[in-house]
Structure formats: structure tokens, C-alpha cells
Structure 1
Amino acid sequence: MSTSTTPGAPTHSPADVVTPPRGARDWMWIALVANLVGNVAIILTGGLVRLTGSGLGCPTWPECTAGSLVPTGEQTEGFHKFIEFGNRLMSPVLVVIAAWVLVLAARRFWRSRRRFVYACAVPLLFVLVQAVVGGIIVLARLDPRTVSPHFLISLFLVANATYLLYRYREGDDAPQRAVPTVVQRLAWAAAAVGGVVCVLGTAVTGSGPHSGDKDENVRFGFDPHATSWLHADSVMLFLGLAVALVVASRLIEVPAPFRRAWDWTLALSLLQGLVGYVQYFTGRPIAVVAVHLLLSALFTVLLTQGVLTARRR
């Protein structure tokens, strides 16, 4: 029995794209979710290191202290060594998860969706890069010019993890617009401004009170108040774009996932803005800054979805 295909039709089977064989656990989906959760978790553990001044709890790298990969009783860093070492342990966990994702993708999709397999190699590559950057941070004694990229790479990994989850349910055909061109461009503009918001957020952190170490106060040297207000101005611009997208999704026929993504993005952005102002006017207490970090990761997830739902494959 022969089958025919139409020009431009996907070359993979629907079973490859959506679900594993009936009755089987979807290990690919589970691995991709673990990849996302792990990259959000390391943002929180990294934030805990900075907020508790534990950045040099392990004063060397790749060892924790001279002659030992793990904290020792002779160290004078107290509880800080355990917080910093706990954050370091997240890297091998993420390496294992990223390798799991890549192996599963290669075994299942190498013949049918090779581009997806290549995309699944990105987490492993950047987790290894992130580990090296973490070592440079320690050797540079928490220079904010190294800490800020460390956080931004984590946000990129969160965005990439969200992208992989979305791509897993798609085919490999060329993407087509699911919304009018002007709306899609507006979504990309919002994503670009959202990236600026995140970059300026690292400048605020690198100029504020939480230097990352209990003894060394390494800062950018920017005026913290001016930097905070510049960051707030970028947030206002992003909110304007998000409101425009929410309004457009009500006036123009768009897919329901696109509408939901921007509804949630706007709601979370308003919450994040509120937390940011509370953080600013209360002297940046640790608990509020930690919530701000978590919301930054969730913001990245929703913003990525907002862009991805503007097209379909």
C-alpha cells in the first residue's frame, strides 16, 4: 500500500510530533519540563547566594577550597560555604538533565526531526558555558561584569527551555504567521524591550546593596537610584506594548494561545512592577528581591510563549 504527500506537507509522522506510543510515558516531555524547572531553580539558588552574601563561600574554583572539592570544617566562611556549594551542585544536575534531553531527542527524532535534535543540544552547551562563567565569577571576586552575564545566561536557558517545550508539539515545516504582521512585529518589539528590562535589572542589582559577599562590596559604580528609575522607565515602555497587544488580541482575530499568553504576561508584569516598587521603597529586603527574581524567570517563560504563539508550523 502506498501513500502520497502534498507539497509542503510535514515529512514526520504525527506520532513523532505529539505523543509517544499509546500507554507509554512521554519521557521526552518529562525531560523538557525538568529542564525548564531546573533552570528556574538555579536562578533561585544563585539569587540566594547573592542575597546572603555567600558568593565567596567557596573561595576557589573548581575546588571549593584549596585541596577539596567540598566544603571543609577548617573553612572560615561559616554557613556561606554550604549555600555556595549547594548552588554549585545545581550545575551537574542541569548537565545530567540537558544530556538526558539530548539523548532522548536523538533516539526518537534523529531521522524525522533533526533540527529539533540540534535545538536540544543548546541546553547542554550553555549549561557548560554557565559553569565556566561561574568559575570566572569566583576568580574575579564577584566582579558584577561577570555576575550580570551569569544571570542573563540563566534567563536565556529558561527561554530556550520554554522554546523546546513549545517546539516539541510542533512539526519542522517553515513557520507561518498566526496573527497579522503588525501584531507579530509588536510582539517581537515587546520581547526586545523585555530583554532590555532584564539587562537593566542586572545593572540595578549590580549597583544596589547585595554585592554577593559578606566582606567584599564589588559594585558597578552606577548611581543606584538613577539606575532603578531607568529600569522602571523601561518597564513602563514594556507595559505599554503589552497593553497594546492585549487590546489588539481583543480587536483582531488571533489564536486563543496568543491571547492567553499576553494576558498572563501583562498580569505578571504588573505584579512584577509592584514588587519592584516595594523592593525600591523598602530598601531591597532579601525576601522581596527573591520574589522579584522568581517573577523574572516566570516573565521570561511567558514572554517567550507570547512570541512563539504568534506563528504556527
Structure 2
Amino acid sequence: MTAAPVSTPGPTTMAAAPGTTWLPRLLLANLVVEVLIVVTGGLVRLTGSGLGCPTWPQCVPGSFTPVPHQAEGYHRYIEYGNRTLTSVVSIAALLAVVAVWRWADRRRDLLVPAFVVLGGVAVQAVLGGITVLTGLSPLTVAAHFLVSMVLVASAAFLYFRAQEPAGPRQLLVHPLAERLGWAACAVGAVVLALGTVVTGSGPHSGDAKEPARFGFDPRTVSWLHADAVMLFVGLVLAAWVAARLTGTGAAPARAWAAVAAVTVAQGVVGYTQYFTGLPWPVVVLHMLLATLLVVALTRAVVRQRATTGDA
């Protein structure tokens, strides 16, 4: 009799390649910390701690960390905590670049947004310093937030696009539906920009003692912001309906439904903060939802197409 051949593990029984495990984890971590630093930055502003560390890059002259009996009190710890988180964000962005380089075959469609996030973190650090040195100028505060939104969108695109293989991507919805999606993104950007004007015209400008504001009437700019939101809601609903009617598969419609859900939640919170006198916990939630809306919009745009043969 002959001995039965010894079987060897096939590809399906082998341990998963490191890239299939670590790449999505690192890209998700990169996205999460980008969202987190927006929220902590909002806490800095809403607690009046924007000048808790009155100099930059040092916290106070002669020290990079808060010192005892500092005049800024507890505000120094809030501002310093946000500055410290910048190091975590930098490490996450660097690891995302390394992960794409090593485990994603250096795909250009992933390397570009990965480097955008890494470079943007450095830009944000400098812009944050300028914001402190200019006494929390509302222009630099607004720019600081809007650049953060670009980085969140880039990190989100990186995470969701990496879930698909490389290669040509085909449209899963009617071209008009895709245009509606891009129009919603454009109006969404306007909504975010107007939101910074509303913030810069209201009570939460960043410093508890000497608030810096644009000088616009808060009620007027709030109405303008709300008008832009109404247009945005209409475009989101139109994109969702178009994706349902013309989409190949359910992914595009599900993605736009998620955008609509976040938009509704954001609207409820927005009106709540307006009619309750802008309590800072509600404003923080409003900022978090704004960031998640950017994530949802990015996901919806990505899901409108799929790699050929992967739809």
C-alpha cells in the first residue's frame, strides 16, 4: 500500500497577509483621530481656552508645557491637550502613508490622499500657531476648521477607496445622479464655510476674556446659513432618489441614505442650539455631526463608482 499524500495548507487556509489586517486598521485610525482633533479643537474654542497657551510653539515663554500658577488657569490644560493630540494625528498620518506604501502596492489613488493628510497636518500645526499669535483672529480660526474638513475628507476617501481593488472604476448610477452628488458636496462646502462665519459672529469665538468676532449680525448670518442648508437638503434627497432609481446595486442609495440621516440629525441639533442660546455641549455635538457629514458625503461619492468587475 502506498501512503496517503500529505496535504499542505492552501491559500484559503493560510494566515491572512499583514496588509489585509493592518492596512484597514491604520487607515481607520487615521480617520478617527482626524475627527477627534476637530472635536477637541471645538472644545478648546467653546470653553474659551483658545489662548490657554498664549504663545507658540511654546505654551508660555520658556516652556513647551503649562507651568504652575499660569494666569490662564485650567484653560492651559485644555489647549495643551489639543496641541498634544496633534502629535498623535501626525503619527497616524505617517503610518497611513507607510501602510499604503507597503501593503497597497503604492497605489497612486491611495498615496495622493495619504500624503495630503500628512502634509495637511503640518499645515494645520503652523496655522494653529498663527491663530494663537494673531489673538484668535476669526479668519484664521475659520481657516483652521475648514482645512480640518479637507483632511477629514481625504482620510475618509483613503479609508473607503482602499476597500476596493485598484483599477478602472465604472459609474454605478446615471451621470445626472453623480452630478447631483457633486453638487451636494459643493453646497455642503458652502454650508461649512457659512457655519464658520456664524461661529465667528457669535459668543463662542475662542477666548473667554477677549472674544474676537467678524462683526456680522449673528441672526442674519444664521438665517443665511440655514438657507444654504435647505438647498443642501434638497440636493441630498435628489441624489438619494436618483441613486435608488438608477443605481446598479444598493450601495450608492445606501450611502446617500446615510448622508440624509446625518443631515437630519445635524438639522435638529442646529435648530436646538439656536433656540436654546448656543449651550456649548450642543455646539460640540453640532461640530461632531458636521465632521461625520463630511465622512458620509465622501463615502457616498466613492460608492457612486466601483472598480470594474467589482460592482
- Judge conservation of contact 2:66–2:76 (CA < 8 Å) in 1: yes
Q: Identify the residue that residue 227 of structure 1 maps to in structure 2.
A: 221
- What are structure 1's unaligned runs of at least 5 residues? 1-14
- Aligned in 2, Cα 1:107/1:272: closer, same or farther, shift over 3 Å? same
Whether 2:176 is the aligned partner of 1:182: answer yes
Pick from 81, 84, 87: which aligns with 1:89? 84
* Selected match of 2:136 from 122, 142, 164: 142
The answer (yes or no) to whether the contact 1:36–1:158 under 8 Å persists in 2 is: yes
Distance in 2, Cα, partners of 1:264 & 1:253: 16
Root-mean-square deviation (CA), in Å? Answer: 1.7
Q: Secondary structure at the match of 2:73?
A: coil
The residue type equivalent to 1:181 in the other structure is P
1:127 corresponds in structure 2 to 121
Deviation at 1:66, TM superposition (A): 0.3
- Report percent identity of matched pairs: 51
One-letter amino acid of the counterpart of residue 73, structure 1: P
Q: Deviations over 1:277-299 (max 9, x none)?
A: 11111111111101101100111
Separation in structure 2 between the aligned mates of residue 191 and residue 86 of structure 1, nearest angstrom:
32
Give the alignment partner of residue 279 of structure 1, picking from 269, 273, 283: 273
What is the rounded CA distance, in whole Å, between the counterparts of 1:230 and 1:288 in structure 2? 20
Q: How many pairs were matched up?
A: 294
Contact persistence 2:244–2:250 (CA under 8 A): no
Given that 2:252 and 2:300 are in contact with CA atoms closer than 8 Å, whether structure 1 keeps it comes out as yes
- Structure 2 length-normalised TM: 0.90
Structure 1: distance between partners of 2:181 and 2:108: 28
Q: Indicate the residue corresponding to 1:298 in structure 2.
A: 292
In structure 2, do the counterparts of structure 1 residues 251 and 106 end up closer, same or farther at CA, with 3 Å as the change threshold? closer
SS in 2 for 1:176: strand
Q: Does 1:61 align with 2:56?
A: yes
Deviation for aligned residue 1:221: 0.9
Question: Does the Cα contact within 8 Å between 1:179 and 1:255 map onto a contact in 2?
Answer: no
Q: Distance in 2 between matches of 1:133 and 1:120?
A: 20
Q: Give the aligned residue type for 1:60.
A: T
**Given residue 143 of structure 1, which amino acid in structure 2 is its aligned partner?**
S
Partner residue in 2 for 1:152: 146
Alpha-carbon separation, structure 2, partners of 1:269 and 1:50: 24
Q: Would the aligned equivalents of 2:113 and 2:157 in 1 still touch at CA under 8 Å?
A: no
Describe how 1:31-46 pairs up with structure 2 within 5 A.
31-46=26-41
CA deviations on 1:171-196 (whole Å, 9 max, x unpaired) are 33233211111101011101111111
Q: Determine the structure 2 residue equivalent to 1:28.
A: 23
Match of 1:267 in 2: 261
Whole-angstrom CA distance in 1 between matches of 2:187 and 2:26: 30
What SS is found at the alignment partner of 2:201? coil
Matched, 1:211 2:196: no
Larger Rg: 2
- Cα pair 1:190 1:241 within 8 Å, conserved: yes
